[in-house]
Amino acid sequence: MAVVEETGVASAGRRRERGGRSGLRESRGHGQHGPGVPYIIRNIPTYDILSEENLQRVERTADRILAEVGIEFRDDDAALDHWRRAGATISGRLVKFEPGMLREILKSTPAQFTQHARNPARSVEIGGKNVVFSPAYGSPFVMDLDKGRRYGTIEDFQNFIKLAQASPWLHHSGGTICEPVDLPVNKRHLDMVYSHIRYSDRPFMGSVTAESRAEESIEMTKIVFGADFVDKNCVILGNVNVNSPLVWDGTMTRALRAYARANQAAVIVPFILGGAMGPVTNAGAIAQSLAETMAGCALTQLERPGAPVIFGNFLSSMALRSGSPTFGTPEPAIGSMVIGQLARRLNLPLRCSGNFTTSKLPDAHAMNESTMSMLAAVHCGANFILHSAGFLDGLLSMSYEKFVMDADFCGALHTYLAGVKIDDNELALDAFKEVGPGNHSSAAPIRWATISPPSGIRRSPTTIPSRNGKPAAPRMRPSAPIGCGRRSSRTTRPRRWMRRSTRRCRTIWPARRRAWPTPGIKEEDADRMSAVPAGAPP
Amino acid sequence: MAVVEETGVASAGRRRERGGRSGLRESRGHGQHGPGVPYIIRNIPTYDILSEENLQRVERTADRILAEVGIEFRDDDAALDHWRRAGATISGRLVKFEPGMLREILKSTPAQFTQHARNPARSVEIGGKNVVFSPAYGSPFVMDLDKGRRYGTIEDFQNFIKLAQASPWLHHSGGTICEPVDLPVNKRHLDMVYSHIRYSDRPFMGSVTAESRAEESIEMTKIVFGADFVDKNCVILGNVNVNSPLVWDGTMTRALRAYARANQAAVIVPFILGGAMGPVTNAGAIAQSLAETMAGCALTQLERPGAPVIFGNFLSSMALRSGSPTFGTPEPAIGSMVIGQLARRLNLPLRCSGNFTTSKLPDAHAMNESTMSMLAAVHCGANFILHSAGFLDGLLSMSYEKFVMDADFCGALHTYLAGVKIDDNELALDAFKEVGPGNHSSAAPIRWATISPPSGIRRSPTTIPSRNGKPAAPRMRPSAPIGCGRRSSRTTRPRRWMRRSTRRCRTIWPARRRAWPTPGIKEEDADRMSAVPAGAPP
């Protein structure tokens, strides 16, 4: 594939032109944090590992699973009615699909769509060559090296939103970053959505744990964006899981339908641990994943044809001796690459999972698995990469330290996905002629002229003070930051940086928030929005 | 590209058939350590990121560098004579090459060759779809968390040989794993080569720091393999570096010619830190690398047409604020992928560098950079991956802990490079029919029947004992092992494992060594070999 000679990052091109003082204020409000971009436009091809023939074999197997084994749709009569009308074979709650039927239904899905942010400069394009990094999602615990592992609270939840917002390397505010267990289960979705709206200017996700909670999440976006705008545009995502193997339960399909009905994007994600919720073989798990995802995606189109939907993927493996889930292992990394090829053949935007690990601490083990997993997501062509930062402990914990390291790695991936630019300036023949054999390249004036920002901010490794010839311990102890100090000084002092950015969020936020244009929002709605107290009923 | 339905690992197929007791002893001597294989045959395609058009632009730039700027060959009149006879334009020590001239000379190189090991079952194929992992090379220091960083000794050197030999995931014994600075500079190459011969049954590398030392390294292999065998087969590699930019110094070209003259493989490696020994732009550094490597590879063919040679690559970047080298960053990872494409267009075996990092401790930072760098090596199609284990501190230190973690990651890469197998058994349609929706896959008998060994030995993460809700500290402290405990219990207890394997080497070694067949070796030569005392003159 050709590598086009463009920079691999999207410019904040939707910024509205305005003059004078208000223009200046607005441009400050919309401005990027340093080199941050709203999302990445990849400039390297996807890594396609499977042949056409083998892809067809996987597809045929998925079709046979759908036709001969079928998928159960539990506790959702409306879903069964949809399938009945579409011509599927229904017996009780088991639905069987003729080969080709789901592919036909999926033709109405958009291959790419915009998810709008409150700050239009932060809106993201999902699909095509675009890549969006979003924080980890769904941990009951949070962890840092000072306080250890404990249940997540709304304060932690908001801290992570602020951290994501402060990082130039993330593009999305995420959803249930951690469970705020200090709030009642039936109310916490309101606080979570409110927190995303209040503390981030990036796009975000809503609740899926009940149809009513999905609807209320969407309802809150209508207060912000206006009902008309929301009906015509995607402003919120809902991440729904298949109850693998081959079961969609009513909680998920009702939430899925709520998002589709409101023209918002459901992310359809089978959760398959090979050996438990699917066969232990990678090929079998991939075929199952394809079958389950196609069924979920098609159901969104039966609810509302043309509604945006994302083809999701959460392949992982299981420790076969203990039954424990494992993450960041080579099998799912390879599996993701195949899933990417299959999603593109369906012309659907792809979600993949990012910095996965089973490690219980943000250590070498964690970053080894994370890096392998995240690179698979990036190589497979994922457009929306959930779990890009903070994932630890097999998703049981959201880690502050890992979040900072992962965000830093996301920064490196901006450079990686920009690929290599080939033109006369970059090939630098004139510099070779000028410098000649044996001389240092710093002699060439071209040297500084061509520095791209990610290289420019990279710094040398910290020198470790030594006592008695041993490396000083602090960098390895909980009281000191962990590794990953190469790209920006902020990453070598995560705690100080976090404190500073949290403080900065608190002070800058209210002013900046007022300055954002909120498309379609009326003044009275904005007041209503601000008046929703944390934890209050809708 | 098609993924063929074969396992991605080479079998120890060259084992000789023999019956009776001696056959049993021999098969023990040759046997694999658990799931170890002599080398990997990759079953996933290479990751090609640059278009034909852009590859040609890079090649044209390299040709113009060679023709218009030229390369200096210092202190080696024989090399200049070679170039003169080949038709290059020489002025003083500057050599300029007509476009196409080097490509023509390179046509005599073998695209793939065997490097023979003392144990024939451990011989490796270098080139084609084969991948060989070799330990890190060239650190003056060694490091562990107990004793800190100190100069390397011959004891450390031998420890690492034993560790590599004990790991099922490495394929090569490497070369100057660390500098044994307790031995005199002009003698230590003898001890290093002797240690590889004595403590490993895998292939290894010799010295390049002087022509005489290269010749003596090769001479020692003749004692082991026999002079005739060595003249006809590759048994030792010599890793020579370009003095970038665009300078080959006499020490390196004389060593290079010594290896080629003896029909042994030189590995030709420019060492380019973008911004110092080459332009700061990735495209320029790649073009320079191609020019320098082609010149070195061609010189081997002028010395002895048909001699094996490896196209090497050591692209890296520089922190532009401090001038420090950086390793494991995204630019060289992308650059390696392009270098891979260029090497394949020359039909040459490719060396790439593996688990690179600038981190000063074996921490999260180290494994993040290492993993990115190693995956680039694997994706770009490298056949011989030097620095696969132990690289730390920007190559200043060889780390015991990092060695163990890297070797573990090499294990994961065996599974990764095997890709995904697509056949009826793996697609497991029958298992879906049997298990049905909603049931656990352990119900299916197919589950256990299809487990591949790497998955089978994977274990669940260690549970961390907790005190007062905080993760117990030991796992992060120097006195406890670091991360990476997922695949095999040996990796969770690196120190204990190291002690055990070192002990095992000491006790098993002499017996096993006697049992190996050494092709072409005569009884009296074997005695002569054993009689070389450490540090003695040749």
CA distances B187 to A391, B217, B224, B237, B537, Å, are 51, 11, 19, 19, 7
Q: Which of A47, A368, A430 to mutate to test the interface with B (most CBs of B within 10 A)?
A: A368
Pick the residue from chain A with its C-alpha nearest to B316: A455
Could you tell me which residues come within 8 angstroms of residue B204 by beta carbon, excluding any fewer than 6 positions away?
B172, B173, B174, B175, B193, B196, B197, B236, B237
What pLDDT score was predicted for residue A256?
A: 98
A99 interface with B at CB cutoff 8 Å: no
Residues of A in contact with B150 (CB under 8 A): 469
Q: Specify which residues B127 forms β-bridges with.
A: B112
B44 interface with A at CB cutoff 8 Å: yes
**Residue contact A441–B279, C-beta within 8 A:** yes
Which stretch of A137-141, A430-434, B451-455 has the lowest confidence by average pLDDT?
B451-455
Residue B301, number of CB atoms within 10 A of its CB: 21
Distance from CA of B320 to the nearest CA of A (A): 6
Q: Which of B131, B367, B396 to mutate to test the interface with A (most CBs of A within 10 A)?
A: B367
Distance from CA of B133 to the nearest CA of A (A): 17
What pLDDT score was predicted for residue B280?
A: 86
The mean predicted confidence, pLDDT, of chain A is 82
- Would you state the structure tokens that stand for residue B49, as one six-digit string? 């990121």
For A346, the 3-state DSSP assignment is coil
Q: What percent of chain A has pLDDT above 70?
A: 75
A232 or A460, which is more confident?
A232
Q: How far apart are CA A433 and CA B473, in angstroms?
A: 56
B457 or A371, which is more confident?
A371
A449 interface with B at CB cutoff 8 Å: no
Confidence of residue A285 (pLDDT cuts 50, 70, 90): very high
| Least CB–CB distance from B279: residue in A288, A379, A444 | A444
Q: How far apart are CA A125 and CA A133, in angstroms?
A: 12
Pick the residue from chain A with its C-alpha nearest to B44: A49
Please, what is the Cα angle at A471 between A470 and A477, to 5 degrees?
Answer: 125
A358 interface with B at CB cutoff 8 Å: yes
Residues of B in contact with A412 (CB under 8 A): 329-330, 372
What pLDDT score was predicted for residue B537?
A: 29
Residue A325's φ and ψ, nearest 5 degrees, are -65, 145
In chain B, which stretches have pLDDT less than 50?
A: 1-9, 11-35, 446-538
Residues of B in contact with A288 (CB under 8 A): 432
What pLDDT score was predicted for residue B538?
A: 27
Interstrand relation of A71-74 and A94-96 (parallel, antiparallel or unpaired): antiparallel
Buried b (16+ CB within 10 A) or exposed e, A473-502: eebbebeebbbbbbbbebbbebbebbeebe
A275 interface with B at CB cutoff 8 Å: yes
- B154-166 vs B494-515: helix crossing angle, rounded to 10: 80
What pLDDT score was predicted for residue A10?
A: 53
Helices (H), ranges, A31-75:
52-64
pLDDT in tens, B377-397: 999 999 999 999 999 999 999
Evaluate if residue A488 carries a pLDDT over 70.
Answer: no
CA distances A533 to A530, A537, A538, Å, are 8, 9, 10
**Residue contact B461–A359, C-beta within 8 A:** yes
Pick the residue from chain B with its C-alpha nearest to A45: B49
What pLDDT score was predicted for residue B36?
A: 79
Torsion of Cα atoms, A27 then A31 then A35 then A37, to 10°: -110
Evaluate if residue A467 carries a pLDDT over 90.
Answer: no
B245 interface with A at CB cutoff 8 Å: yes
**Mean pLDDT in residue range A118-129:** 97
Residues of A in contact with B246 (CB under 8 A): 432, 436-438
pLDDT in tens, A72-92: 999 999 999 999 999 999 999
pTM of the model: 0.83
B472 interface with A at CB cutoff 8 Å: no
What pLDDT score was predicted for residue A492?
A: 33
Q: Which of B94, B365, B421 to mutate to test the interface with A (most CBs of A within 10 A)?
A: B365
